[in-house]
Amino acid sequence: MFCGDYVQGTIFPAPNFNPIMDAQMLGGALQGFGCDKDMLINILTQRCNAQRLMIAEAYQSMYGRDLIGDLKEKLSDHFKDIMVGLMYPPPSYDAHELWHAMKGAGTEENCLIDILASRTNGEIFQMRETYCLQYSSNLQEDIYSETSGHFRDTLMNLVQGTREEGYTDPALAAQDAMVLWEACQQKTGEHKTMLQMILCNKSYQQLWLVFQEFQNISGQDIVDAINECYDGYFQELLVAIVLCIRDKPAYFAYRLYSAIHDFGFHNKTVIRILIARSEIDLMTIRKRYKERYGKSLFHDIKNFASGHYEKALLAICAGDAEDY
């Protein structure tokens, strides 16, 4: 984010929070044949993640059952994905999404790109630890075996979570910009490696300077240059990294827009972004979406989703009256 730019989520800790009462209400909502989906939405989307974990604890001691297990058993389809997704702590949710992106038939590259291009060093570290605990598997090894080429090299670099933080060196920025420019001209394996090393390891602040210098040297925006020179998932990942460095909420607004409009509402992507960003910058993402695409995210979700699934998505979006 640009210095001093304030980002905001849509979900905050509920005041006067009572986990025991919430657990009782959820128990009631999940009893019997039917299921009170409105009650589930009202409770789970109106509590922050830390509060949901306390509700799950209260539920366990009250009923001797696992809340996630009960939600999985009682619900179905995308509505189930949202309600269950809300119950995971953030590192656990990232780990869950990455695991499923790699373990199905074929790899969901866009999920890997979204998560690994956007997470901070701390988030990546926690995600790796959780992945190991949750799946008794090594995230690096799984990425290595499920991807290939320079796309794989770049993901392997990102998953180290060793990006420099806060450090800037204006003199070095011009040098790095030259390397990037050459990498877009020459396109050898060695140049591709240098390109991804700079984009994965330099601090966000340093890369802002590098991108400015790149524009000065080449007369071209770095994103346009990457799009012209490279293709496939390698190109998509490089662009995602650049966009996240420039303005992360704008990147996610773009990903939501393309998930909704270019892929006929790609449910997994929409759900993943809304849940993962709900307490970080979803309000800012909504703002960027409206500025960039003219329509509100609220309006577009209303147009494409329906039923309790739509209700749950809109509740996480925390729409205002003017968004209808």
150 and 179, same domain (yes or no): no
**What pLDDT does residue 167 have?**
81
Residue 301: name the closest of 273, 253, 260 by CA: 260
Sites in the chain below the pLDDT cut of 70: 1-5, 32, 263, 319-324
127 and 195, same domain (yes or no): no
156, two tokens: 């392997």
Mark which of 160, 193, 219 sits at the end of a domain: 160
Instruction: Write phi, then psi, for 66 (nearest 5 degrees).
Output: -90, 125
42, two tokens: 């009202």
How many Cα neighbours within 13 Å face the side chain of 48?
12
136 and 177, same domain (yes or no): no
In a domain, 70, yes or no: no
181 and 242, same domain (yes or no): yes
Q: Tell me how many domains the chain contains.
A: 3
CB 240 within 8 A of CB 273: no
**What pLDDT does residue 106 have?**
75
In a domain, 214, yes or no: yes
Full residue range of the structural domain in which residue 228 is found:
170-246
Q: CATH number for the domain including 120?
A: 1.10.220.10
217 and 264, same domain (yes or no): no
203 and 239, same domain (yes or no): yes
177 and 242, same domain (yes or no): yes
**What pLDDT does residue 129 have?**
97
CB 127 within 8 A of CB 119: yes
220 and 277, same domain (yes or no): no
214 and 265, same domain (yes or no): no
In a domain, 258, yes or no: yes
pTM listed for this prediction: 0.93
267, two tokens: 């449910």
255 and 296, same domain (yes or no): yes
In a domain, 67, yes or no: no
179 and 220, same domain (yes or no): yes
In a domain, 128, yes or no: yes
Q: Rounded CA gap, 316 and 44, in Å?
A: 9
**What pLDDT does residue 7 have?**
82
Residue 37: name the closest of 106, 127, 45, 240 by CA: 45
241 and 177, same domain (yes or no): yes
Mark which of 160, 184, 218 sits at the end of a domain: 160
Mark which of 160, 183, 216 sits at the end of a domain: 160
CB 248 within 8 A of CB 1: yes
In a domain, 298, yes or no: yes
In a domain, 47, yes or no: no
In a domain, 121, yes or no: yes
